[in-house]
Structure 1
């Protein structure tokens, strides 16, 4: 078994002068940093007094799921001999906020559009999406139901022209 370690820093930058004196006295702004990487400007969702021009944890959660799915999908496609020429996803998530302010993601839906080489099998391309859940580190670590609404396109056969 191999262990991989990850280290980041999250620094609150939202002290507007009176700290957390009240729920409205401070900004939710923060920076997410790691060695040799660009800073991610973070905040909370605007519904929770956040800055809409900064990434919020809910968006980053959905992004992490979509990125992990895509990267494993591409690897599985390569292993299966399926040539993917383009991949684009527009994932969505639904979070439920409870009366006491706690919440959880009810579901995340990945909506990848995958373009494959004309020689590729669309059925294989579709099936590989269902195998990703066995490998994706992020999806295997959460309990949010993750659905897939997949579109498979076949690239034009430019060799026939």
Structure 2
């Protein structure tokens, strides 16, 4: 039976510099994302759209969500398959195309997980775990653009 999960946050604009949105350059894109009992996440728009480069933008957070979802599924699947993961780092990259009218959309995200396993005998199982993690990831299943993977695996200090 399917179960429904709900996710609630609060997003509050904090960029009123005194005159609201009286002009395109007259307000900050700064905002805060809050969740019950969690640290405040400072947000803004991409610097290309007059945002604060010191704050996370929605595009970065979408790429991060895809990476996190893959990571969490991968670790779960590795544990149940008896593959001992001792390290995992990803440097994902998303590509968004902006149209002439200012609208845009993501055209792809590439995940680049670098996984370290405890034993060289576990390396061959890793590609299948990445494939299954991609199939299971809630976020990847929900987007309308491709999510590609360029994984690397190492064991006992030797790259594979």
User: What SS does structure 1 have at the residue aligned with 2:95?
Assistant: strand
TM-score, normalised by the number of residues in structure 1: 0.94
RMSD, aligned CA? 1.3
- The runs of 5 or more residues in structure 2 that have no matched partner are none
Taking structure 2 as the reference length, what is the TM-score of the superposition? 0.94
SS at match of 2:60: helix
For 1:1-161, what aligned pairs fall within 5 Å after superposition?
Answer: 1-118=2-119, 120-156=121-157
* Runs of 4+ that moved beyond 4 A: none
Within 2, Cα distance between the matches of 1:120 and 1:64? Answer: 30
Count, aligned residues? 157
Residue 126 of structure 1 and its aligned partner are, at CA, apart by 1.5
Q: Distance in 2 between matches of 1:83 and 1:119?
A: 11
Structure-2 separation of matches of 1:53 and 1:111? 24
| Aligned mates of 1:50, 1:14 — CA distance in 2 | 10
* Cα deviation code 1:110-151 (max 9, x no counterpart): 001000111542121122111112211111111121010110
- TM-superposition CA deviations, 1:50-108 (whole Å, max 9, x none): 00010000110000000000000000111111111110001011110000000111110
Contact 1:115 1:152 in 2 (8 A): yes
